[in-house]
Amino acid sequence: MSEGFSRRGLFGAGAAAATILAGVPAASASAAPRGTSQMTLRWWGNNGWEIRVGTKTILIDPWLTRFKTGTYTPAGADPRTPLSVNKELIDGYLDRGFLHADHILVTHGHYDHLTDVPYLAQRTGATVIGTETHLSLMAALGAPEDQLAIASGGEDLTFDGYSIRILRSLHSAVGARAQVPFPGSRPLSRRDRPRVISDLLEGGTLAYCVTGGGASVVNFGGSNYVESELAGLRPDVVLLPVGGAKVTQYVPRLLRTLGNPRMVAATHWDDFDLPLGQAQDPNGGLEVLRKVVAAASPGSEFVVLDHLGSFVP
C-alpha cells in the first residue's frame, strides 16, 4: 500500500471538504501526476469523476451520499435498503462553488451511480445523459425532464469546449453465473418512484470517452466492456474499475485494444459504505489491479487518488 493509506481515517468528509474549500489540494494516495493538458480529473469516490476543461465541468456517476448497504459484508447488499440523498453534504460543495456540472454522464442505473444525479441535475441545470431506463428512474426521482438526454451508445457529440463519445458497454459480471445485479429495464413512461436500492435497475450500461483541453479520458462504470466498440480509440487516460475476474483477459485485452493508454487510474475500488473522505479498499482489489496493469502495460502510469484528489493528464 502506498503511504497515503496510512493517513486514511484522518480525513472525515468534513475535513476533506474543508481542506479542499480552503484551496489546499486533498491528500493523494500517490503523488498526483501532472501532464501538460488543460484537463483536470477529480475523483469523488466510487465511480464519481469530475472532468474539468476550462470553465466546463462534466461529471460521471457522481454519488456523494454513500449510505450503508452491506455491499462489502458476506451477506452482500440488502436489497430493501432505502434510497436517500444527503442534500446537506451536496449543498456544501455546490453552495461554495466547489462543485459544478454542465453535463452529467450516467453509466448505469444502480444506486451507487444514479441516486444523487436527480438532485445534482436540479441544482446545477446540467444536461444528463443515460439510457431510457436510467432516464425513467431519474425522472421518477425528480430530475427535471427537460434536462434529460437519451442515449443508446454510438453517439459522438460535440459541445462548447469538449466532446462526448458514448460507448455501448457491459456491467460487471458477478458471482458463479456471471450475473448482473438488479438486472432489468423500464420504459420512460413509467414514473413510479424508486424507494429501495433494488428498484434501481441496471438498465443497460454505457461507457464514455470525453475529449477536451488536449486530452481524452475513457470511463467504465462496470468491470466489463464491448471490445469492438473501442476499436481505434486512443485515450490518454482510462478510468478502470477493479474486479473483472469473470471477464476473459479483462485488463490485458482492454489496454491492448485502447493502445496502452499512458495513464490508468483506478476507479470503483473503495468501500462505499464508508462516507466520502474515507477511501478504503475492502478486499484488496486495488493491489490486484495495480499488478495486472503493470504486467499488461508496463509503460502506463497507474494512478490512485484519495477522495477529492485530482490529477492532470
| 220: number of Cβ within 10 Å | 28
> What minimum distance in Å lies between the beta carbon of 64 and Zn ion?
17
> What minimum distance in Å lies between the beta carbon of 30 and Zn ion?
26
Residue range at the interface with Zn ion (CB under 5 A); choices 86-94, 103-111, 122-130, 240-248: 103-111
Give the span between the Cα atoms of 79 and 76, in whole angstroms.
Answer: 9
86 vs 223 by CB, closer to Zn ion = 223
By CB under 5 A, tell whether 110 contacts Zn ion: yes
Contact 139, 192 (CB under 8 A): no
Residue type, 62: P
66 vs 110 by CB, closer to Zn ion = 110
> What minimum distance in Å lies between the beta carbon of 205 and Zn ion?
8
Residue range at the interface with Zn ion (CB under 5 A); choices 89-97, 106-114, 255-263, 283-291: 106-114
By CB under 5 A, tell whether 268 contacts Zn ion: no
Residue range at the interface with Zn ion (CB under 5 A); choices 107-115, 124-132, 242-250, 293-301: 107-115
> What minimum distance in Å lies between the beta carbon of 6 and Zn ion?
30
Residue 193 sits at the vertex; the CA angle it makes with 188 and 187, to the nearest 5 degrees, is 15
CA distances from residue 108 to 18, 26, 92, 202 in whole angstroms, order as listed: 31, 28, 26, 5
H helical segments located in 59-160: 87-95, 111-114, 117-124, 132-140
**Which residue's CB comes closest to Zn ion?**
110
Contact 298, 22 (CB under 8 A): no
> What minimum distance in Å lies between the beta carbon of 111 and Zn ion?
8
Give the span between the Cα atoms of 279 and 155, in whole angstroms.
Answer: 34
Residue range at the interface with Zn ion (CB under 5 A); choices 5-13, 87-95, 105-113, 152-160: 105-113
Task: Give the binding site for Zn ion (CB under 5 A).
Answer: 110
